[in-house]
């Protein structure tokens, strides 16, 4: 714009208020209900003119990175809950002392690895964001199990074979990485490949 108007490069401070005044100052949903220009500059924008309907709008809020990320995570969580509601699945929030069942892949069924069996009962000892530490009530053994492989205890489900697709396929599964075990460079794709261990999943 300075070149088009044949102005000195130091005159940008003169043009900046003009450009700000001509930009959209309507609060929108995408940056958390803030003014688009306010989210860009990180402060309240002062323009040369005032909108006739300015009194109807609340004063613009300061944008912080925490507020922006909080809004995004809230929308993600809401979307996840809506997807679960569409599929008529119950959202299981396990707590310490809950009695649960855990499905394990039956290694004897070599023909179909997707066949699993509900075993237990287990008692939840500790809860992490995406997995839980459970203790077998009979043997006392403790395991780190992903939340998608647990469900609340029911006598009718104990030692019943089920398909993993039906239980896991309808869930939004999020996995935590325990550690990177191996790495290699793939010459054909020109990318690094990582072999990782994930919390709560069996080592198959």
Helix %, strand %, coil % of the chain (to 5): 25, 25, 45
CA pair distance 153, 160, nearest whole angstrom: 12
- Whether pLDDT at 106 is above 50: yes
In a domain, 33, yes or no: yes
- Domain hosting 148: range is 99-172
By CB atoms closer than 10 A (0-12, 13-18, 19+), residue 146 is: buried
16 and 47 in a single domain? The answer is yes
80 and 114 in a single domain? The answer is no
pTM, rounded to two decimals: 0.34
At residue 157, the pLDDT reads 54
Q: Which of 94-103, 149-158, 163-172 has the lowest average pLDDT? A: 163-172
Token pair recorded at residue 64: 């912080």
Pinpoint the alpha helices (H) of 49-163: 65-86
- Indicate the pairing of strand 131-136 with strand 115-127: antiparallel
Answer yes or no: are the C-beta atoms of 192 and 184 closer than 8 Å: yes
Q: What is the pLDDT of residues 22-76, one digit of tens each?
A: 665 555 555 555 665 565 555 555 554 444 444 455 555 555 556 655 666 677 7
In a domain, 191, yes or no: no
At residue 93, the pLDDT reads 73
- Whether pLDDT at 127 is above 50: yes
DSSP for residue 85: H
**Token pair 């979307």 in the structure block, residue:** 79
At residue 89, the pLDDT reads 46
In a domain, 189, yes or no: no
List C-alpha distances in Å: 123 to 66, 85, 166, 167. 36, 27, 24, 20
Token pair recorded at residue 136: 């077998």
In a domain, 107, yes or no: yes
Q: How confident is the model at residue 173 (pLDDT cuts 50, 70, 90)?
A: very low
Q: Where are the beta strands (DSSP E) in the chain?
A: 99-105, 115-127, 131-136, 142-146, 150-152, 161-163, 177-186, 191-198
Domain of 128, CATH number, reads 2.30.30
Report the domain count for the chain.
Answer: 2
47 and 107 in a single domain? The answer is no
Mean pLDDT across the chain: 66
At residue 164, the pLDDT reads 47
Q: What is the pLDDT of residues 158-167, one digit of tens each?
A: 555 555 445 4
In a domain, 14, yes or no: yes
């Amino acid at each position: 714009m300075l070149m088009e108007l044949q102005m000195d490069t130091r005159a940008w401070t003169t043009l900046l208020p003009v450009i700000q005044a001509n930009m959209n100052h309507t609060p929108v949903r995408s940056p958390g209900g803030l003014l688009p220009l306010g989210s860009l500059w990180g402060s309240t924008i002062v323009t040369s003119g005032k909108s006739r309907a300015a009194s109807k709008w609340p004063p613009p809020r300061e944008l912080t990175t925490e507020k922006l990320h909080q809004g995004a995570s809230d929308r993600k969580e809401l979307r996840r809950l809506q997807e679960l509601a569409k599929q008529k699945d119950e959202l299981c929030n396990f707590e310490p002392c809950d009695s649960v069942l855990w499905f394990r892949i039956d290694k004897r069924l070599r023909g179909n690895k997707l066949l699993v069996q509900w075993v237990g009962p287990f008692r939840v000892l500790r809860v992490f964001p995406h997995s839980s530490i459970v203790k077998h009530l009979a043997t006392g053994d403790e395991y780190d199990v992903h939340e998608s492989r647990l469900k609340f205890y029911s006598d009718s489900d104990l030692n019943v074979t089920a398909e993993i697709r039906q239980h896991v396929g309808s869930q939004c599964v999020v996995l935590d990485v325990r550690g990177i075990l191996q790495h290699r460079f793939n010459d054909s794709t020109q990318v690094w490949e990582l072999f990782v261990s994930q919390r709560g999943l069996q080592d198959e």
